[in-house]
Structures are given as structure tokens and as C-alpha cells.
A and B are shown apart, each in its own frame.
Chain A
Amino acid sequence: MAFTFAAFCYMLALLLTAALIFFAIWHIIAFDELKTDYKNPIDQCNTLNPTIEKVKKIKRVKIAIKLVLPEYLIHFFFCVMFLCAAEWLTLFLNLPLLAYHVWRYTSRPVMSCPGLYDPTTIMNADILAYCQKEGWCKLAFYLLSFFYYLYGMIYVLVSS
């Protein structure tokens, strides 16, 4: 039993996946709120998108990192970690989601700031339903991968 880099990757992924699960839940709640009318879409998109708030006069760019981009970055980060650790199977399992994230971000509406959601179209029932479905699917994926990483971590620790 040895603490290898792979084991470290799994532990880290475990923690980060927990965070991603939180994000996914947050995402679902946000869209549900939107659908049931508690929130104004402009506010909603501001919290879902990483907003770059220009603080006047000081011209300081304060980046309020919110959900979407961090989620993508975290996921990308541990994919790279698994690549480095040569955990091919795990990497392979994560590739589809990685590809989806890339596709999703490149096909986002025209925006001058990072972000995915356009407040003017998000109330469209199709888009809203898609986003909700996306949230649930991701939640399921992250939950499964959470247990997979737990298993992977123990397996690596034990087998080495």
C-alpha cells in the first residue's frame, strides 16, 4: 500500500467531484427557481455566468467567478491529472463530458463576457427544459463518478 500519484489524483478528484455535485444541485435549483418565477432572468444569468463587473472609476476588473466556467475548469483540471497519472480508463470515461463542455462553450450565444446563458432567450421553454435536463444528467454523472473515484482510490491504494 503506497501513496502514488494516481491515488492522489483520485483523492483530489473525489473532493472536486463533491464540489461539482454541489454545483450541479445549485444549477438545478437555479433553473427551477427561474421556471417557477422567483427570479428575474437577468439576475439569474448574472449568477450563473461568471460576471465581470466593471467597477467604475477604479477600473478594477473584479471577476466574480460563478458556476459555469469553474465547473468546466475543474473538470478539465482533473482530466489532465488523470492523463498525467496514466489512468486511461478513468480518462476515457471523462472524455465525453469534456467534449460536451467544449462544444457547449463554443456554441454559446454571442456574448462579450464569459458565460453560457443569455437572459433574453433563457425563458424559452425549450432552452429552459434543456438546461434543467442538463443539470440532472450532470448530477447523475457526478454522483456515479464520485463513487467510481472512491473505488478507484481504494483500488489504487490497495493494489499498489
Chain B
Amino acid sequence: MLKFVSLLLALSCCQGLQHNNIDDYVEAEPVFQASKYGSLWPLPQKVQISEVSFKLTSASFRIVDAKASSAGPSCSLLQSAYRRYYEYMFGSAKKQWGSKNNRRSDPSDLTELQVWITSPDSECDGYPSVTSDESYELTVNQPVAVLKAPKVWGALHGLETFSQLVFEDEYGAKSINATIINDFPRFQHRGILLDNFLNYFLSWFIHTGNNGDEQNQCFPLAHSQRAAYHPYTHVYTPADVKMVIEFARLRGIRVVPEFDTPGHTQSWGKGQKDLLTPCYSGSKPSGSFGPVNPILNTTYDFMAKFFTEISTVFPDGYIHLGGDEVDFTCWKSNPDIQKFMEQQHFGEDYSKLESFYIQKLLDIVASTKKGYLVWQEVFDNGVKLKPDTVVHVWIGGRSDKEMSNVTAAGYTTILSAPWYLDYISYGQDWQKYYKVEPLNFEGTDEQKKLVIGGEACLWGEYVDATNLTPRLWPRASAVAERLWSAKNVTDIDDAFNRLSLHRCRMVERGIPAEPLFSSYCPREYKGV
């Protein structure tokens, strides 16, 4: 719905506290006014809306394949999108009255949207990737509206845009203005990171290798209660993951899994013996465990098997390998590690040991033919990265400096630092997310081109299914426009006006998106 193309399933753990007392609140009250762009969100690159308007009726309106389109009735991705958008626009078919017998139309009606996939390969059965063409052109005029796109991915965005152009007149009739739109995203990677580990733990892969069950394409479900919160109700099964990936594909969304090592791995240890480093208290093991043990061959055997499996389960070209926030105290306490440090001439520099581990891991993952994303620390520590590595910048404060350094070294990068949506505060914080300019750092044009996008992160300490949706929407939508629309789309008042309508549209579509400010939606959320 929001033209986000990547969804990160993160496997990590986090904590943070911040106290923030607001005593009196005084804020300029925003006043809603209709935008000349209606409710379009994110704003397309080029839009011309004319005064002329046409009626659409559920009885006569159809979305169809254009004759010349390279995708036809067999393209289920598009066919299901047609139905989805028809229902968004007119409500579900059940609510329609006598639609079949009654297919009369007024000459001023718009009766058809033709969808025309122009390139010979529509990519209908493929997966979206970081290089997918998402552009489209939409012409709404008599007698038919035409949506042209080289690939299905652009067509999906065009359908969303078309549905956003439809509005209700004062008598409740659906109308659309004659419109010409030419659209494409400013950035390729427009992501949302959801942190599942903490509240729903991906446990099924943890136990691989324990029983060498290789004929099973999937990882067995956890057999004990040790690893996941609960072995049946709190895990993702392979079927769940497949369902998520297909659901996302049908909406032009990539699913990028994150498996964060060597830190943030306490839960891995519960299912995989000897994977984690035993910490010592004096000369004896203390019984607790630290990061992944980087000195054992078995660690790398496990990782090789694990990532081979993962690379077949997740079709996307990229895997996120984490690599952030490694705590060295446990490694320091362990005599075997100390010995290894000596052998390798690492001295006392444990970041060298970390780099040693990451290097081996990256080589393993490279052999699966996948590209990888890593958190910025991996780059900061000077690990040798493949040229196509994507460095994920998350540390706030001087993220512009980091972007500058990463791109100067020739790596592509995505930005998350300003978009940590789990850090809530009172008031209209969407404006803060909206005002970010990702390319606002020192660097050449070549460097700027290496920024492929950004990600809104919603870490899970304080979030689960009870509050996820209203916390994410419409705040993440602010990030969506920054990543999709042209750089000069920065009018905050116009954004408020369009986003207010966009949030009511989400509510109507069943997404309980929270309000921007005192206001109302014609059809309030009733799912209480």
C-alpha cells in the first residue's frame, strides 16, 4: 500500500531507556486544508490533475489487461491486485447490489482501467529485487484510463496511485479527475524493519545441525522449550515464512532476513551447543555464555550449513548479517580465546577477533551467491567487504559523517539512523522523520548515488501485536514519502493535508493507523 519494497525480519535484541517529561504542551494547531494533490501519498514524481472529473460506479467499472500487455490472465499477481484494488475502491463484492445485471453506464463514466505491461518479460512470476523497475505512467481520461509499466512492480504502484485518485463526492459517488502521472521512486530500497525476535522468536532454524536432518528441506521445529518463548505458539514455521514471502511478493515487497552475529545471539545458544563462547570467572567457566565462539571450526561449519539453508528459504538477493554491538568482556575472560589471540598476533585488540569472525562469515555467505547487508560497525572496524556490500547506517548523532565515509570507500548504503520509530515522543514526530534529507552529507555526486535508500526501524522492546500497527502507521508513511518522492517535496503543510487523508484511507482499509492530530475520519476505526 505504501510503496515500501523491503521488509526486514530482524533477529536481534535491544534495550534502551529515555525519560522525557512533558509539562505543558503548546503547539500551533495544524489546520486541515485540501491539497491540490488530494490524498496522494507518497507524492508521485510528476502529477497533472485537471478539473474535469468522471464518475466511477462499481457496476460498470473494471480493471483489465490491455491488449498489448505482456502479462495476461495467467499473471495471478496482477489479477489478484485488480481484485484487491477494486475492493479498496468499492468495498467488497458482497456489498454490491445487482452489479452484474445492471452494467449500464453514463457517458461521463470512466468504465475501464487498462493495465499495460510494456516490456516482453513482465516479471510476473519473479521476485522483486533491488534493481527492479518500479516506474509507471498513468493516464486517466475518457474513454478509458491507461496504466503503463515496464514490469508488474511498477503496475502495482500505479494501481495504488489510481486507487488514491478516486474520491467520494458530496453525494457519496465515486469520482476521479482527469490526470496524467509519470512516476518512479527516488530510492530503490525503502524498507521497514520489524523486530520479531523478542516477541515472536524464529526458532525453527535454531535446531538444525543437531540431528543432521538434511532430507528435510526445512528446519525442524524446536523440540524443547529452551529456545523459543513457546515451541508451538511463538515460532514462525517454514510455512509461515513462505506465506509471508509470497504475500509480500504479491505486493512488490522484498523480504530481507537478518541473522545478527556474533553478538545478539543468546537465544541461538539454547538450541546449538558449543556455538557460544563460555565466559570465565577467574580460571573457571562461569556458566554463562557470550557472543558466538569465533575460534572453533565447528562454528563455521554450523554457519555454512545454516546460511546455505537460509539462502534457499529466502529468495531475496540479500541477507542482513548484523554485526553490531559486540560485547568483548566474555571473549576476554576465556583462556582459549586469549591463546588464539596470541597465535593470531591480535594483541589486545578484540575488534580484530571480531573482524576475523565477520570475514569468515562473509566468505561463507558469499559462497551462497547472496549479497549482504551489515550494520555500520562492520565497516567501521575495517573488515574487508565485497564491493557490493550494503552498509546499514544506524548510529545517530553523526550519521552524515558515516554516510560520507562509507560512500567514499565505495560501498552502497542505506540509512536508518533518523528513523527509529520505536523511540516515541509526544506530538507530531512524523514531521521530524519527514524533514530528513538522506543525501545531506559531504560527498561527490558519485557518492550520493551509492545511497540506495533507507529503512524505518521498529524495535520490539515495547511493541507487539497489540500496538504495532498504530505505532507504525502513519509515522512510517512519512519516511515512505521521503524515500519515494522527489527531493523538493518538502512542504510540511501540504504533507499534513495529504497524510491526514492517507491515514483515514488506511483506517478504511482496515489498518488502524493513528491520528496525526485532532480530527476525524468519515469512517472511524470500529475494530475495537
Chain A complexes with chain B: no
